[in-house]
Amino acid sequence: MNTYPNQFFDRLMQDYDSRLNHSGIEGERLATRLAKLAEIGLTDENGSSRMGFSKEERQAKELVKSWMKDAGLVVREDGAGNVFGRLDGKDGNAHVILSGSHVDSVPNGGHFDGPLGVLAAIEVAEAWKQANYQPNKSYEVVIFTDEEGSRFSGGFSGSAAMVGDVNQDEQLKLIDLHGHSFQEVIKADGLTVDGYFRAKRDMKEVAAFVEVHIEQGKQLEKRNLPVGVVTGIAGPCWLELTFLGEAGHAGNTPMNDRKDALIAASMFIHELERFPREVSPTAVATVGRLNVHPNGINVIPGKVTLSVDIRDIHKQTRDLLVEEVIKMAQEVAEHRNVKLEVAETIRIAPVPISLQMQGKVMKAVEDQEVEAFLLPSGAGHDAMVIGTHTPAAMLFVRSQNGISHNPKEWSSLNDCVMAAHVLKGIIEDLTQ
């Protein structure tokens, strides 16, 4: 039996300041739930592996549903697998306030990315239950399905379905990394295609969405701050580039008579590093996946497919960078006498956080006697999808060494509980 979840809990609790247990927020409860979720999809390296629409993501959702019910929330699930725990407000006609995140993970990821946002939102409900408090507006804790996109190389499957930002024809063409169709995948998760496309919600009933998430960077750590106020969310564009050369015998094909797809891909990757800073100081571009065919020791690579993740917090410069990257790939392919195929798998516009929503988060942070530090989000989040349809806000939590999507991902329990207190203040402001 793997004892890591117990070690994980003990590490959370070892330097916890119990004075943070007040106003109905409890650190030990939050630590216990983080550790329980860490058991699901635990890898040999003590990381998290809960791919979207997987049995592990489903198991995590079912566990969190039980905690929602314990907090006095009425639980439902939509056709996309999004889970909602609702507390009705005093005003039945008032719009609902949403807060939450996701419980799926990247392969061998960490235990805070996603779950912390869900569990912090439940802590708000737990605190209200203890105080017998009912907000004016209704409140819902949400778990969005498949945020990370590890299965279909897309992400935001749940939040996009909820707001109706899904192209049905394109969605049904999706094939996962195991060769299974979108229809097969969601059927295995107990869902249906018709139900998925009926998950669209009337966003007029949603007054605001607030997401707590780890920073996945070092700005808060450098300033010794537990939390930070997000000013905007970078929009990702994902490209899939395929360099098509000609496979051949590694021994009998002269060096001057080759169409080596891997050489072309390598040149592209080398050149890519300099492009973002030439376009925008906040832009980034990453090749995170590379597939070589036929992948034999003594065979010249005839085909290489790679992913490119391009992001910026400004739409204009992000889109310019995408154009420049594709142009450079075409030039490399021509220079190396190979063909190039380009497919765009996702393009989501950056989402600025309104000054009004930033102000509410800043006030809640300052109410906890913490400096309200402003910073952008280079990573995409469900708040980015929801924020195109209703006011959204994000609160970042300090990440140790800025590590994320890695088993070493860590945020102290003190910081996590501080985030729950801040979130409670934001939600109480919004639900009045």
pLDDT tens string, the chain, 432 residues long: the values are 689 999 999 999 999 999 999 999 999 999 999 999 999 999 999 999 999 999 999 999 999 999 999 999 999 999 999 999 999 999 988 899 999 999 999 999 999 999 999 999 999 999 999 999 999 999 999 999 999 999 998 889 999 999 999 999 999 999 999 999 999 999 999 999 999 999 999 999 999 999 999 999 999 999 999 999 999 998 889 999 999 999 999 999 999 999 999 999 999 999 999 999 999 988 999 999 999 999 999 999 999 999 999 999 889 999 999 999 999 999 999 999 999 999 999 888 889 899 999 999 999 999 999 999 999 898 889 999 999 999 999 999 999 999 999 999 999 999 999 999 999 999 999 999
To the question of whether residue 213 is assigned a binding role by annotation, the answer is: yes
Q: Give me the pLDDT at residue 1, please.
A: 63
**pLDDT by residue (tens digit) across 309-348?**
999 988 999 999 999 999 999 999 999 999 999 999 988 8
Query: Domain 4-234+350-430 is in which class?
Result: alpha beta
CATH 3.40.630.10 intervals, the chain? 4-234+350-430
Q: Give me the pLDDT at residue 369, please.
A: 98
Q: Give me the pLDDT at residue 143, please.
A: 98
Identify the burial level of 295 via C-beta atoms within 10 angstroms of its C-beta, where 0-12 means exposed, 13-18 middle and 19 or more buried: exposed
Q: Give me the pLDDT at residue 240, please.
A: 98
Q: What is the 3-state secondary structure (H, E, C) of the chain?
A: CCCHHHHHHHHHHHCCCHHHCECCECHHHHHHHHHHHHCCCECCCCCECCCCCCHHHHHHHHHHHHHHHHCCCEEEECCCCCEEEEECCCCCCCCEEEEEEECCCCCCECCCCCHHHHHHHHHHHHHHHHHCCCCCCCEEEEEECCCCCCCCCCCCHHHHHHHCCCCHHHHHCCECCCCCEHHHHHHHCCCCHHHHHCCCCCHHHEEEEEEEEECCCCHHHHCCCCEEEEEEECEEEEEEEEEECECEECCCCCHHHCECHHHHHHHHHHHHCCHHHHHCCCCEEECCCEEEECCCCCEECCEEEEEEEEEECCHHHHHHHHHHHHHHHHHHHHHCCCEEEEEEEEECCCEECCHHHHHHHHHHHHHCCCCCCEEEECCCCHHHHHCCCCCEEEEEECCHHHCCCCCCCCCCHHHHHHHHHHHHHHHHHHCC
Q: Give me the pLDDT at residue 358, please.
A: 97
Q: Give me the pLDDT at residue 340, please.
A: 98
Q: Give me the pLDDT at residue 338, please.
A: 98
To the question of whether residue 148 is assigned a binding role by annotation, the answer is: yes
Q: Domain 237-347 classified CATH 1.10.10.10? A: no
Q: Give me the pLDDT at residue 380, please.
A: 81
CATH 3.30.70.360 intervals, the chain? 237-347
Q: Give me the pLDDT at residue 314, please.
A: 85
